[in-house]
Structure 1
Amino acid sequence: MSKSATLAQKCLKRLEEPFDDWEAECFRRTCGFLEFGVVRGAASSWNAMALPLGRRSEACSGEPPATPMTEKDADRLRRRLVRMIETQGRVDERSAD
């Protein structure tokens, strides 16, 4: 399984937990990077999501957008992640042939 598919699966699991605004923004960035195939950017955003409160200001200049993760957002991201995993699975199958 590719690194992007592995991270997408981690993201699917993470959607089951609540997000604060910082985590929601990092999560959205992670999914965006994954969608465009930028695995390093996705991994960096994923890691930033776990920063403790005191370290977050070091990683971001200014205030992050205060946009909470809604159920509608989570459903949309879930569909995108499932699609990415399925697509990567088909690519993996073709390259195994």
Structure 2
Amino acid sequence: MYTSEYVNGKRIHVKQYFRVYNSWEDSINAHTQLLVNGTTDQPNRYAQVRNAKNYREAAKALQKGGYATDPEYASKVIQLIEKHNLHKYDA
């Protein structure tokens, strides 16, 4: 598939390969394992996400950890959470 990525602050389209899962549950489990175990070369890549005190810190830590290349990723995630009052699910 083609996806938009940001390289040196510029948005480009790149062909990327994505994993295919047998079920939604398998996909969620793989995503959870990524956040818990990081990547092979950086096992603690998302430690700041796991240790975040709130969704704002978590979104910023995801961006800092390289989860997405969009320089506005964290602010977009925070905006969506607040727009749809998703923070009400935080306990």
Global fold match (TM > 0.5): no
| Greater RCO structure (CA 8 Å; 6+ sep) | 1
User: TM-score, normalising length from structure 2?
Assistant: 0.29
Structure richer in strand, relative to its length: 2
TM value normalised by structure 1:
0.28
